[in-house]
Chain A
Amino acid sequence: DTEVTQTPKHLVMGMTNKKSLKCEQHMGHRAMYWYKQKAKKPPELMFVYSYEKLSINESVPSRFSPECPNSSLLNLHLHALQPEDSALYLCASSQDHLGRSSYEQYFGPGTRLTVT
């Protein structure tokens, strides 16, 4: 199984809402990532989990809160978002990380988030 799944596919939320994005992989990968992608732009790294521990936070605002309950699951909790946070949120996984990025990443289909 080389699939990364993400739910929901689409999410519309108000600025006062709390919601969560979910990501799952069953490839035995020990590194998982959250990216944010705006239209016609490349993905921007937000967080990296390595062996279920947060290893990188790319100065992401605290209204985004990641969580890695186990080696297969990755969540992104959203609270008090702004309209400019509207984007495609992509989850990815790779074989390993250990501070390096040498392995290919497998991406989920993304969650299209709209903040109203």
Chain B
Amino acid sequence: SQQGEEDPQALSIQEGENATMNCSYKTSINNLQWYRQNSGRGLVHLILIRSNEREKHSGRLRVTLDTSKKSSSLLITASRAADTASYFCATAPPQGQLTFGSGTQLTVLP
């Protein structure tokens, strides 16, 4: 079953702007992960945030996690055309499998 729902489904911004994607989930988690997928390619792991963490940074990426609201957000700052891709959140429950959300298609216009 699909654990995460992402919002928005599609996002189009200008180069240099910030992009924010949100992920909501339903059950308890050990961690939440974000992945990027370029069209027709494999997924690339971006960042993992544990259930006891609230915020994490990696380069131009900032991830927040609110376990009380069962939600996470991914912020990409100063976006580039090369950031154009689909972004998926994935939840890792205490027992069971990594489950991917529905994804956000980000388009960064040059």
Contact = CB atoms under 8 A, between A and B. Distances in A.
Interface stretch (A13-21, A42-50, A72-80): A42-50
Tell me if A's interface is mostly helix, strand, loop or mixed: loop
Given A56-B97, A102-B92, A110 B41 contact: yes
B31 to A, nearest CB: 6
Interface residues of A, number: 24
Nearest to A106: B45
Contact of B97 (A4, A6, A48, A109): A48
B42 A107 contact: yes
Contact of A100 (B41, B44, B92, B99): B92
A92 B44 CA distance: 10
B43 A90 contact: yes
Interface residues of B, number: 26
A104 interface: yes
B95 A107 contact: no
30 contacts: A40-B103, A41-B102, A42-B2, A42-B100, A42-B101, A42-B102, A42-B103, A45-B97, A45-B99, A88-B40, A90-B42, A90-B43, A92-B42, A92-B43, A99-B95, A99-B96, A100-B30, A100-B95, A101-B92, A101-B98, A102-B30, A102-B92, A104-B33, A104-B45, A105-B98, A107-B35, A107-B43, A107-B45, A108-B42, A109-B41
Interface of A: 4, 6, 40-43, 45, 48, 56, 88, 90, 92, 99-102, 104-110, 112
Given A41-B103, A43-B100, 18 more contacts: A40-B105, A41-B102, A42-B100, A45-B98, A92-B42, A92-B43, A101-B93, A101-B96, A101-B97, A102-B30, A102-B31, A102-B92, A104-B45, A106-B45, A107-B44, A109-B41, A109-B42, A110-B40
